[in-house]
Homo-oligomer: A and B are copies of this chain.
Amino acid sequence: MTSAASSRSPTLKEACVTEALAIIAEQGLEHLSLREVARRLGVSHGAPYRHFESRDRLLAAVVARCYDAFARHLDARPAGGDADADLRAMGVAYLDYALSEPLSYQLMFSTRLPPPTEHPEMMASADHAFGLLRSALARRSPSGSAIEIEADALFVWSALHGLAGTLRSDILAGLELAPETVAEAGAHMLRRIGAALGHPETREQNVAGQR
């Protein structure tokens, strides 16, 4: 009966998420509070509570939005080419997002969230991204077993995820790496991943001639 009743006032709910994102961007995650959101929106401090049962649920909504943007970014990678090229395009898109949207990336992967099982839309986005990777790998080597494909997908994802994390990390600053090492880290990582997976057809081309 009240099927559409939950959208009685979509304005405030949406505005809360937007304002929360703004606060995080301006002052950092630690300064996010329901009261601050309410203050900036000119409503009472209890108002957001009608739409988010806790601070964490508001944060979850923000993160869900980040996942959406991330999935869209991956989907929008340059199409065309064989499976191999597509895989590489995905890697580039992944790192590109992590480095160009560090706030969004950090929110997705460095934030303690309420049990994700309660947020199916998040899981769906993550699953979607992982499915892209898995199918690209499967197309690349049709002879591989499902288990091997899956293991490689986990490997590729983890490696890219790890590099993104490392590059964003404060630790990196203390390591005194050569600037070019950092600048070329993405390309180097993709090259190494290519070498690790082996190249069914055009091996040398990728090992040497990338970028």
What is the bound-complex CA distance between A130 and B146, given in angstroms? 35
List the B residue with the shortest CB-CB distance to A111: B110
Interfacial chain B residues near A6, Cβ < 8 Å: none
Interface of A (DSSP majority class): helix
* Chain B proximity mask over A90-125: 1 for CB below 8 Å, otherwise 0: 000000000000000000011011011100001100
- The reply to whether the CB of A15 lies closer than 8 angstroms to some CB of chain B is no
Give the residue of B171, B189, B197 whose beta carbon is less than 8 angstroms from that of A192. B197
Taking the nearest CB of chain B, how far is it from the CB of A58, in angstroms?
15
Q: Collect the chain B residues with CB atoms within 8 Å of residue A43's CB.
A: none
Contacts of A171 in B (CB 8 A): 116, 123, 126
Alpha-carbon separation in the docked complex, A172 to B122 (Å): 12
The reply to whether A192 and B113 contact each other, CB–CB distance below 8 Å, is no
A195 located at the interface, meaning its Cβ lies under 8 Å from any Cβ of chain B in the complex: yes
Q: A95 to nearest B CB, angstroms?
A: 11
A85 at the interface (CB under 8 A from B): no
Which residue in B150, B154, B174 is a CB contact (below 8 Å) of A166? B154
Distance, CA A127 to CA B177, complexed state (A): 10
CB-defined contacts of A44 to chain B, threshold 8 Å = none
Query: Is A185 in contact with chain B by the CB < 8 A criterion?
Result: yes
Interface positions of A (Cβ within 8 A of B): 29-30, 109-110, 112-113, 115-117, 122-123, 126-127, 130, 146-147, 150-152, 154-155, 157-167, 169-171, 173-178, 180-182, 184-185, 188-189, 192-193, 195-198
A-B pairs, top 8 by smallest CB distance, nearest first, are A162-B162, A196-B196, A123-B174, A158-B162, A158-B163, A192-B196, A161-B162, A159-B159
22 A-B pairs with CB atoms under 8 Å apart are: A109-B165, A117-B174, A126-B174, A127-B174, A127-B175, A130-B175, A146-B178, A150-B181, A151-B181, A151-B185, A154-B166, A154-B182, A154-B185, A155-B159, A155-B163, A155-B189, A157-B162, A157-B166, A158-B159, A159-B159, A192-B196, A192-B197
